[in-house]
A and B are shown apart, each in its own frame.
Chain A
Amino acid sequence: MTDAAVELHDVRKTYRMGDQTVHALDGVSLTIGRGSYTAVMGPSGSGKSTLMNVVGCLDTPTEGVVEVDGVDVTELSDAERTGLRGDEIGFVFQTFNLMPQQTARENVELPMTFQGVGRSERRERATELLESVGLGDRMDHKPNELSGGQRQRVAIARALANDPAIVLADEPTGNLDSDTEADILALFEELNAAGNTILTVTHERLVAEHAERIVHLFDGEIEEIEEIAERRIAGEANR
Chain B
Amino acid sequence: MRLLTRYGSVLLLAALWEAAARLGIFNRVLFPPATVILVRLGSMLWEGVLVQEAGQSLLRMGTGFALALAVGIPLGMLMARSRKVEGFFAPIFAFGFPVPKIGLIPIFLLFLGLGHGSKIALVFLDALFPVVLNAFHGVRLVERQFIWSARAMGDSEAAILRRVVWPAALPHIFTGIRLGLIVSLIVVFLSEMVSAGSGLGHVMIISARNFKIVDMYTAILSIGLLGALLDRAVLAARAQALQWYEGEAAA
Q: Do A and B bind each other?
A: no
Interface residues of A (CB under 8 A from B): none
